[in-house]
Structure 1
Amino acid sequence: MTSNDDRKEFEAHKKKQCLALGQDEHVFQSSIAHMLQLDPYDYSYLWSWMGAPIIQMPADVMATQEVIWNTKPDVIIETGVARGGSVLFMASLLQLIDNGFVIGVDIDIRAHNRDTITKHPMSKRVTLIEGPSTSEETLAAVRAEIPEGAKVMVVLDSDHSRDHVLAECRAYGPLVTPGCYMVVADTMIGHVAQEDSPQNRSKSWFAGNEPLSALSDYMSEVDIFEVDPVLNGKLVLSSSPGGYIRRKPA
């Protein structure tokens, strides 16, 4: 039995649907409402990657996987290590590709979280740097780990205040190489009014003081990045809609 090779048609249809979904404001607002309904159950905290808590929405895990597979960076820098699952997730993808490593940056890498990471099978592809993500000392340590000519991807997922995220965009954006991505996490908060923002967190963020505002300001300052409309179009039930930006070709 023979069948037609429809791979190109399948991908074209998928792209069309992603773009259409990205234009559906009703679905997007329903998605935001649904995530707020899930938040009392700490939904994003319920998942793990290879035994380590990842604290991500499943849609963002899949989107990040697609980015890494398609661009195959040599170095991934993530600000905000938390419990380690995210750096280990990205390290495991680089292990599958058989190339590269992750630099995890955090102002406070707690001993038990460091233990989770350093004892994990993927720790060989993780370098941890402790310090304020935007301090010159920390940035110098990060730059020192990047080999000459490396393809670099960045994920910003630490302090979500507008000023801090904007400072991170300015500091780490130039490190991203053409064709690679910078992911500004938790842009969803920018679509939530203060009275509706999740309260069961150490800090409460809401529209105007969050990553989406910072990203918007950064994109107005520079012309080196573009929003990926296909990838972002399908990011409903995501913590980071609109947060996946691609460095333009040189």
Structure 2
Amino acid sequence: MNPSAEFERSVADDIQRMGRDPTLWPLTLSWVEATSPHRYTYHFSFLGRPLIQFPQDMVAIQELIWRTRPDLIIETGIAHGGSLVMSAAMLAMLDYCDAVAAGTTLDPTASRRRVLGVDIDIRPHNREAIESHPLSHMIDMVQGSAIDAEVVARVARAAAGYQRVMVLLDSNHTHEHVLAELQAYAPLVTPGGYCVVFDTLIEDMPADMFADRPWGKGDNPKTAVAAFLEGNADFEVDQALESKLLITVAPGGYLRRRG
């Protein structure tokens, strides 16, 4: 067997075994609960902008971007902009690789690939930092609720004409809001692409962990994903990706569009 193929087969076998190991997920939950008081997810950045995510999930996102090669990435929830910058950087790398493969000269400012971020409250200092970032030419931002009809229509218009679209949902984490986001933005994902729903982990955490939040056990992104999938056969959970990560804020939230 080809050495590269043998390596990939071996890795795939390892991932399957991890997914079947009943001892690993409880360890993950214990680790997440133990690190939560230390605000673990707030400790990382990407190209200078705070990135409020588990590093493991960001590694998964870059793998998916490389695999599916989106032209447009739609993100709900901007915060400090680290995720927007990371998505833009990955799209810029796709542009570079395309140019190398075609033997052409790359004009970074001419890229058609875009990142579109939506947030109900884009703080002035965050907007300024994002707009002054070297990758800002690839980033657009919309201020408003991600489920507001005008915002949804604006995003849909922006997505028209793009061949490959990825969606990342990470704003208000209540069941009602996330379900509305899924209904609005998941149809924009192209076949073979991904809609990633973050913070489904809320359902697996102790009930009192989110006492100061409007979401919690029974009312969160995971319950919204379950409701969405009940009535939508176009999407499936990428269980292999979840088995590979083990540490993730999005268990059951990596949704792949069939086709």
Q: Tell whether the structures are fold-level matches, with TM greater than 0.5.
A: yes
Assess if the C-alpha contact under 8 Å between 2:75 and 2:169 holds in 1. Answer: yes
Partner SS, residue 121 of structure 1 = coil
Give the counterpart of 1:109 among 116, 122, 137: 122
What corresponds to 1:124 in structure 2?
Answer: 137
Give the counterpart of 1:74 among 71, 80, 94: 71
Give the counterpart of 1:172 among 174, 181, 185: 185
Instruction: State the alpha-carbon separation in 1 of the partners of residues 171 and 16 from structure 2.
Output: 29
Instruction: State the alpha-carbon separation in 2 of the partners of residues 20 and 207 from structure 1.
Output: 29
Query: How far is the alpha carbon of 1:145 from its aligned partner?
Result: 1.5
Give the counterpart of 1:216 among 204, 218, 226: 226
Instruction: State the alpha-carbon separation in 2 of the partners of residues 140 and 217 from structure 1.
Output: 23
TM-score (norm 2): 0.90
Structure 1 residue runs without a partner (length 5+): none
Mapping for residues 202-241 of structure 1, pairs under 5 Å: 203=213, 205-241=215-251
Query: How far is the alpha carbon of 1:5 from its aligned partner?
Result: 4.3
Instruction: State the alpha-carbon separation in 1 of the partners of residues 12 and 56 from structure 2.
Output: 16
What corresponds to 2:39 in structure 1?
Answer: 42
> What are the Cα deviations for residues 51-77 of structure 1, in whole angstroms up to 9, with x where unaligned?
100001010000001000000000000
One-letter amino acid of the counterpart of residue 242, structure 1:
G
One-letter amino acid of the counterpart of residue 69, structure 2:
K
Assess if the C-alpha contact under 8 Å between 1:36 and 1:198 holds in 2. Answer: no
TM-score (norm 1): 0.93
Instruction: State the alpha-carbon separation in 1 of the partners of residues 118 and 12 from structure 2.
Output: 34
Instruction: State the alpha-carbon separation in 2 of the partners of residues 149 and 115 from structure 1.
Output: 27
Mapping for residues 1-250 of structure 1, pairs under 5 Å: 5-98=2-95, 100-195=113-208, 197=209, 203=213, 205-249=215-259
Query: How far is the alpha carbon of 1:183 from its aligned partner?
Result: 0.1
Instruction: State the alpha-carbon separation in 2 of the partners of residues 120 and 149 from structure 1.
Output: 24
> What are the Cα deviations for residues 146-189 of structure 1, in whole angstroms up to 9, with x where unaligned?
24142111000000011111111111111111000000001111
Instruction: State the alpha-carbon separation in 1 of the partners of residues 40 and 214 from structure 2.
Output: 17
Query: How far is the alpha carbon of 1:206 from its aligned partner?
Result: 2.5
One-letter amino acid of the counterpart of residue 134, structure 1:
I
Assess if the C-alpha contact under 8 Å between 1:166 and 1:217 holds in 2. Answer: yes
In the alignment of these two chains, the number of paired residues is 243
What corresponds to 2:104 in structure 1?
Answer: none
Structure 2 residue runs without a partner (length 5+): 96-110
Instruction: State the alpha-carbon separation in 1 of the partners of residues 91 and 29 from structure 2.
Output: 31
Partner SS, residue 226 of structure 2 = helix
Instruction: State the alpha-carbon separation in 2 of the partners of residues 19 and 217 from structure 1.
Output: 27
One-letter amino acid of the counterpart of residue 215, structure 1:
V
Instruction: State the alpha-carbon separation in 2 of the partners of residues 144 and 217 from structure 1.
Output: 26
Query: How far is the alpha carbon of 1:21 from its aligned partner?
Result: 1.5
Instruction: State the alpha-carbon separation in 2 of the partners of residues 58 and 27 from structure 1.
Output: 18
Query: How far is the alpha carbon of 1:204 from its aligned partner?
Result: 5.9
Partner SS, residue 105 of structure 1 = strand
One-letter amino acid of the counterpart of residue 4, structure 2:
R
Assess if the C-alpha contact under 8 Å between 1:235 and 1:241 holds in 2. Answer: no
Query: How far is the alpha carbon of 1:106 from its aligned partner?
Result: 0.6
> What are the Cα deviations for residues 29-48 of structure 1, in whole angstroms up to 9, with x where unaligned?
11111011011111000000
Q: CA 1:233–1:55 in 2, change beyond 3 Å: closer, same or farther?
A: same
List, as ranges, runs of 4+ consecutive aligned residues in structure 1 with deviation greater than 3 Å. Answer: none
Assess if the C-alpha contact under 8 Å between 1:153 and 1:177 holds in 2. Answer: yes
The more displaced of 186-195 and 163-172 is: 186-195
Q: Percent identity?
A: 40
